[in-house]
């Protein structure tokens, strides 16, 4: 059994550029089976709270809804794909929350289907910190 709650998260540095939590999240997510996912609790927490204090939520799956503002796909075998998804394709979404005044990034590991800009989506992911520019919350999911 693999669980994000067992990972040693970097709780002293909220910057995703330097805290290493994106790699930690991607490794545990790629190792998890469907049974592992099914055992995890999904939390519904105000995203403003998570953005302000992301370290309080490391290791917990969070659900967030919003409208897709931009999509950046990364091909299989590319630098980011190799680093975070074992060479599988990944997609970065910028999403504006429909419930809170928060824009967040969602790094999806694997094929993301036919999601398009301006689609309304609900995602589940692990918070890993904030981007170093501004205070954009980052979630990683699979």
Strand 90-97 with 120-130, pairing: unpaired
Instruction: Report how far residue 50's alpha carbon sits from residue 43's, in angstroms, rounded to the nearest whole number.
Output: 11
Q: What is the pLDDT of residues 83-125, one digit of tens each?
A: 999 999 999 999 999 888 899 999 999 888 899 999 999 999 9
**pTM tops 0.85, yes or no:** yes
Q: Superfamily assignment of 4-141 in CATH?
A: Nucleic acid-binding proteins (2.40.50.140)
Residues whose CB is less than 8 angstroms from the CB of residue 129 and which lie 6 or more positions away in sequence, other chains included = 13, 14, 15, 16, 19, 21, 22, 54, 55, 138
pLDDT over 80 at 1, yes or no: no
Instruction: Report the chain's C-alpha Rg in angstroms.
Output: 14
Residue 132 is predicted with a pLDDT of: 78
């Amino acid at each position: 059994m693999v669980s994000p709650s067992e990972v040693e998260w970097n709780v002293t540095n909220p910057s995703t550029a330097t805290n290493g939590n994106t790699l930690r999240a991607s490794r545990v997510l790629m190792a998890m089976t469907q049974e592992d996912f099914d055992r995890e609790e999904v939390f519904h927490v105000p995203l403003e709270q998570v953005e302000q204090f992301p370290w309080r939520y490391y290791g917990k799956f969070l659900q967030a809804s919003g409208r897709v503002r931009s999509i950046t796909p990364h091909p299989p075998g590319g630098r980011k794909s190799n680093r975070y998804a074992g060479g599988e394709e990944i997609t970065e979404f910028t999403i504006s929350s429909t419930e809170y005044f928060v824009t967040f990034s969602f790094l999806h590991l694997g094929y993301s289907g036919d999601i398009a800009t301006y689609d309304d989506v609900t995602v589940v992911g692990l918070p890993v910190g904030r981007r170093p520019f501004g205070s954009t919350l980052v979630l990683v999911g699979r």
